[in-house]
A and B are shown apart, each in its own frame.
Chain A
Amino acid sequence: MARTLKDLRPVYVVGVGWHRYQNPSDTPYVTLGVTAIREALADARITWPSAESAYVATALLGMASGRPMLRHLGATGIPLSHVENASASGSTAFRQACIEVASGLTDVSLAVGVDKRNPVRRDSTGMDNLAEDAIAQFTHFSLLTNEYAHRHKVSFEDIARVAVKNHRNGAKNRNAQRQQERSLDEVLGGKKVAGSLTALQCTPIGEGAAAAIVASEDGIKRLGIDPGRAIRVIGSTARSERVYAAGLGFDAVLTKETTEIALQEAQVSPQDLDIIELHDAFTVEELHYIENIGLCPEGQGVHLLKDGALDIGGRCAVNPSGGLIAMGHPIGPTGIGQIGEITLQLRGEAGARQHPKARTGLAHMVGVGAVCYVHLLQRP
């Protein structure tokens, strides 16, 4: 019988750091990456030689970008792996670091995500298609928006309120790409992209970096890390897309089956969640995912949103960082940045964004292709 992460030795997030997510600039990726790592090391109050392995998440930098970056921290010779898994690259790197520490192979491991907004390249499968070149990501999610609005009799204005909430959160986050509050009129009045989707309802793909250091109890003791600031990773689950019935949205179904496994393994119920960081690249996604995570029945997400239940200080703070819509989505870093936000929230160190009495958090990512990653974190 295979074991779960919780059956292995405990693993904790002990340090988190960022380089701000931002519009494309001339800043080299090396600067972005080492800034985030140095901040995470300072947060853990340890130094680089204590890291025993490194996982570098990047989707758009090309082959072997890690060593030209990490060598500027001091080339300690530790094992180095690159992880590419579309939007979930960072979540995947974090999972690998957790598994390595939980297994006992290392005591301290680093997951770092770094990306620049370079063109996406995907090789041909050898199969032709009708018009995939005409279907951008925002068109896929515009189709889902129209299906959701039709099926649940929900207005496009109410779906757009997700962007109002997430911009409000991002405005309080120094690492967010978009740090400006937006009214519903501003969100709806922006540039039209597809269907009801406007630019402020879509993630601004940019550049940046995020880092998380994980450690075992042995590592925490040996390095004198403050155990009171260590946040335990109580679950890590990953799935990929199967064949679903016509009309079922694969992003939502895949989220449901991945989250169910994660919650069951960690013995946590959706009502226990204080913080959720999820893949809101487009507004409708947040509603789909909170419903499939189990916060409320399908089609009811808008009620929670309008009641303030998803706000910081509400029943469960969803995307307190600002989410992909406001914090941004530089691809490689995004999943690790979610872990960082949840860690700050569970420590009580989130400042103006602090959700009161936060104990349990869930990080969710989907990636084109399609994969889904769910992590559960808890304050001991």
Chain B
Amino acid sequence: METLLKPTLYTSEGALLGGRCTCGHVFFPMQGHGCEVCGRHGADLQPMALTGRGKLLSSTVVHLHADKARATPFTIGKIALTDGPVVRTLLVDPVQQIAPGTEMVTALVPVGTGDDGSAILDLRFKPEH
């Protein structure tokens, strides 16, 4: 048994739960407040599963963090998804140097154990090859 830490943001297959406006703008995460490009809202915004693939724009190894619950070092990557949006989040390897332009893909990694003993998984990115 496995549970996702943030099931509103991604699936167990590593797809990102984004959205698409009738104007063509693709965004992440899915939301109904309104489109950042044209302001349409409601039924004009439809859920769209994003592939979870993209190119690394930049990454950095973080040495210092105020929240002690998040141990350093860890690496933050900025990824331009194939579907359009740019996301920033943790990479799987905490200290790996990855060249900008590298093809990246989502991966689910265990980050804890639930009350029922099941693994809790969170989404990260890693180089595709």
Residues on A lying within 8 angstroms of B by beta carbon are 125-136, 138-140, 142-147, 150, 191-195, 243, 246-247
Contacts and interface: CB of A to CB of B under 8 A. Distances in A.
Given A139-B76, A143-B78, A192 B63 contact: yes
B116 interface: no
29 contacts: A125-B33, A126-B31, A128-B9, A128-B29, A129-B9, A130-B87, A130-B88, A131-B90, A132-B88, A134-B74, A135-B88, A136-B62, A142-B60, A143-B76, A145-B60, A146-B58, A146-B59, A146-B100, A147-B57, A147-B78, A150-B99, A192-B63, A193-B62, A194-B61, A194-B63, A194-B76, A195-B60, A246-B84, A246-B85
Interface in B30-76: 31, 33, 36-37, 57-67, 70, 74, 76
A127 B63 contact: no
A130 B6 contact: yes
Contacts, number: 91
A247 B88 CA distance: 12
Given A130-B88, A143-B59, A192-B63, 11 more contacts: A127-B29, A127-B33, A129-B9, A131-B90, A134-B90, A135-B76, A136-B62, A147-B57, A192-B64, A194-B61, A243-B25
Interface string B81-114: 0001111111000000001100000000000000
B59 A247 contact: no
Contacts of B100: 146-147, 150
Interface in B1-30: 6, 8-9, 25, 29
Contact of A139 (B60, B85, B87): B60
B123 interface: yes
B58 A127 contact: no
B80 interface: yes
A246 B89 contact: no
A358 B41 CA distance: 51
Most chain B beta carbons < 10 A, residue from A127, A132, A144, A150? A127
A130 B9 CA distance: 7
Contact of A130 (B31, B62, B123): B123
A146 B29 CA distance: 26
A195 B70 contact: no
Interface residues on B, range: 35 or more
Contacts of B36: 243
A357 B93 CA distance: 54
Interface of B: 6, 8-9, 25, 29, 31, 33, 36-37, 57-67, 70, 74, 76, 78, 80, 84-90, 99-100, 123
Contacts of B66: 136
Nearest to A194: B62
B93 to A, nearest CB: 15
Contacts of B8: 128
Given A130-B89, A130-B123, A134-B76, A191 B58 contact: no
Given A130-B87, A134-B74, A191-B64, A144 B58 contact: yes
A144 B59 CA distance: 9
Given A127-B31, A143-B88, A243-B36, A133 B60 contact: no
B17 to A, nearest CB: 10
A133 B89 contact: no
A129 B80 CA distance: 16
A247 B81 CA distance: 11
Contacts of B29: 127-129
Nearest to A241: B36
A132 B9 CA distance: 13
- A-B pairs, top 6 by smallest CB distance, nearest first, are A195-B60, A130-B89, A142-B60, A246-B80, A147-B58, A131-B89
Contacts of A150: 58, 99-100
Nearest to A244: B86
A260 B61 CA distance: 35
A246 B76 CA distance: 17
A243 B31 CA distance: 16
Given A192-B63, A243-B25, A134 B58 contact: no
A247 B101 CA distance: 11
